[in-house]
Structures are given as structure tokens and as C-alpha cells.
Amino acid sequence: MLKKVLVLFVLLTPVFACAAEKTKKEEPIEHLTDEQIYEQLKKLALVFETARDNFVEEVDEKKMLEAAMNGMLGALDPHSSYLSADDFKEFNDKSHGEFGGLGIQITSDRGAVRVISPIDDTPAEKAGIKAGDYITHIDDEQVFDMTLNQAVKKMKGRPGTKVKLTIITEGKEPRTLTLKRAIIKVDSVKYEEKSLAGADEDADKIGYIRISDFGATTSKELKEALEKLEKKNVIGYVVDVRNNPGGYLTAAIDVADAFLDSGEIVSTRGREKTDIERVYAKKGDLANGKPVVVLINHGSASASEIVAGALQDNGRGLVMGSQSFGKGSVQQQKPLGDGTAIHITIARYYTPSGRSIQNEGITPDVEVLQSKVEVLEKRESMYSEASFKNALKNENAKDKKKSDDEEEELTDEEKDALDYQLQRAMDMVIAMSKLETRAKELAEQNKDEEVSEQEKKENEKVDEKIKKTETKKDKKSGK
């Protein structure tokens, strides 16, 4: 038995050794010799056998070994883990746009489960779970003893069934929420024409593109959105990647490329100094050079940060909002041949200017924190005819008062008006569009002036030639 266990771990060792990310400790790593590695693996096998034979209850060997592999990978960083056959299948299903659960992207942080971001129109988002929240209990069970995959599994289940989460938000008391599981179908890209709150019907229209994640269909959906919005002659674009936890690297590259005509999009750098890959934009800006504002917040991670960084560093778009999440690492699935795999960090992301996204995130060009818009003037003033005592009532008026329990359903326009960051982003697109229009007008004006000046010089030359000819004639006739 000991020999078999040793073979198992020796087979896994090359994958572990080759893919491990550099430690953040200042002290240099002391690498073990092959003999020392063998001794440690022998000890690990001995721990396994001793625990299996002496534990007070009958043990599940498979569970023990999977936990050991998960612990090995989890010691590297929060994003590396062992994927069982079921986990690997679920991961692939999720990446292709449809999966079951609560619609929440999470990571491990100091023993707890931290929310990267909720996905749009899902039970988690509707329950008010926000990026940066911590989940401490799932169905009253502490998450501190769970792996990330175990926490994910506990939150998944049959659609319609319920799960109880204990949530901690910074500066607030812990709260318990009961959510109903659902089939989570991710519509990666949503788009529409928008105008500023309170603007006239004939006001400038702005193309609003909301990208909720970066999946297999994102690139195709974005191209369709840009084609349709361009036909409507929008003056510019707001690309909203707030609370977008990321996804496929290729999808992020395609999204950035859609707005770029040239330039580097992103580089990935592995453990070795020579292990660098750079990706460049192909010719063709699908937005035809119109102003672009990218909206980010602390829930914008990974692929979202790649897009924001690419447009920012290439001077193609202005980034607004708040500091992004700071996940600048590349993960890859390494199948182990039996339906299982490891999910492991293999490189770091860098923006075109060479900035590492890891732990830093993208700093917006214009910081706009989400704020509550306060209405200073009520629709019904306290000083009106209706405020007088014994004022005659309007016999045809409908009762506008609602019960305290009845919530007013906001329209999409009203929701937009309350979205302070979005309103400021659209303000900026309008300003950038006007600046571009003014710049073009000045260029045309200068061109006309140059032409006029050139014509003036040509005319002066002609006049000079005529004068010289007449002078010669006068001299000749005088002779």
C-alpha cells in the first residue's frame, strides 16, 4: 500500500514543481533534493496510513487523498486547487454560460469565503450580496474548515431549493440570508441606447454596453452589439464591467481588440524571465474611434482589468469608477487523465505599459465613487393648495398614497438616474464627443485658413510677376 501511495504522489510532483508560483517571501526558497522530496513523500504516505488505521471512525481514503492534493495546491495561492471529476465537469459547464446555483463568484481569503462579485440578475445579486462581502457560514456550518470547492458545492443544489448564508459586510453587523437556488444562465453582453437623466428626447444618445462576465460567447455578442449601436449613430460608448469577475483570457482580448486599431493588449509572464507572451490588437476599431468610457469598481476582476488596462494604456478610453479588484494571475486547467484536473496559476497579467495587475488593480483616470443621489425638490411640495386645511379635494384624483409595506417598482430610466457612476460616465462621453467635434471643426478651419493663406501667397506672386513685367515694358518704352 505504501508503495502505491508513493507512486501516486511522485506522479503528481512534477506538475506541482513546474507550475508553482514564486513565493512572496523575501527569503530565498531552499529547494529540496530528490532524496529529501522522497523522504517527505514517504512521511506523507505514513501519515495517510497511520490516520486511516487509527482514526476513531471508518475513513474515506479517496476523500483524504483529494484533501491532501487540494491542500498542496491551496498552499500556493487562493486560485489553485484540485478538481475532482464532478468539479472539472461543473467548471466547464459554468464557463460555457449556464450552471446551477446562486450566481456568485467567490475566492478564499483568510479562511473565509470572500465575494468577488454577484452575477447580474441572479439570486445572489437580488438578495443584495455585494463585492467584498464575506460568507462565514453556509447552512449554519462554518466555512473556515472548507476548501473553496467544498464551499461552492454546498451552495449549489437543485433549482428551487434553499440555502442559508451568513454574510459579513465591512462596518455592519452580520446578517443571515436565505436564497433560493436557480439555473444561472449568463447573458454575457447587454446593450442599449441611453441618454442622461432628464435629457430631452432629441438629446445625444450613448451606446451602453454591459458585460457581466467573459465567456465563450462574449466576443460574438459584443460585435453584434456594436454593429447595431453604430447603425443608431450613438456619439460614444460606456462599457460597464462593474462587478464583472472575469472569465476567459481570449474573451478579454477580443473585447479590447474590438475598440483598438493597433497596440499591445496584454502580456502574460510566467516563472522564467523569458516566459513572456504579448498579444497585439488587429486593425479595425468597431466603434469607429468614438469616445469610450470604461466603468470599473472593486468587483471588476481579472479579464475586466485586462480590458480596462488595455484601453487606458493605449489612450483609447477613459477609465472611471473606483479601484478594481487586483486579480492579475492566469489560471489553467491541467487534466490528469482520469477526468480530474488541477486548476493552477501559471502566469501574471501585465498591462501594455508593463504594470502588474496583481494585488494592485486598475486605478481609474477619474475616480467616481458610487453615491446616493439626493432629491432636493419633491414632486409634491409641502407648500401647495393641497397643504391648506379644509382645501377642496379633487373628486377625480386617484389615491396616490401607498401602504408602508408596498414597494415602488422603479423603471429602468429611474434606476439609471440613481446610478451616479453611470450618469457621470455618460457626462464624460458627451464631453469627449464635443471635444472631438470641436477639434475636427478647428482642424477644418485651420485647413481652410491654410488654403486661403496659400492662395493669398500665390496671388501675391502673380501680382509681383505682373508688376515686374509692367516695369520692364515701361523701361523699354522710355528708351
Residue 319: strand pairing partners: 294
Of 312, 315, 334, residue with least CA distance to 323 = 312
Alpha-carbon dihedral sign for residues 80, 85, 91, 96: positive
Active site annotation includes 447? no
From 94, 327, 329, 419, active-site residue: 327
**DSSP string across 129-194:** --TT-EEEEETTEESTTS-HHHHHHHH--STT-EEEEEEE-TTS--EEEEEE-EEEE---EEEEEE
List, in sequence order, every beta strand (DSSP E) within 270-351: 276-280, 292-296, 318-321, 329-335, 341-350
**Rounded CA separation 142/156 (Å):** 16
With beta carbons less than 8 A apart as the criterion, state whether 299 and 131 touch: yes
CA 109/CA 436 separation, integer angstroms: 45
Catalytic site includes residue 327 = yes
Catalytic residue from among 195, 219, 300, 302: 302
Q: What whole-number distance in Å separates Cα of residue 137 and Cα of residue 275?
A: 41
Q: Are 309 and 239 in contact (CB under 8 A)?
A: no
Catalytic residue among 313, 329, 416, 419: 313
As a whole number of angstroms, the distance between CA 41 and CA 9 comes to 7
Q: Looking at the annotation, which residues are catalytic?
A: 302, 313, 327
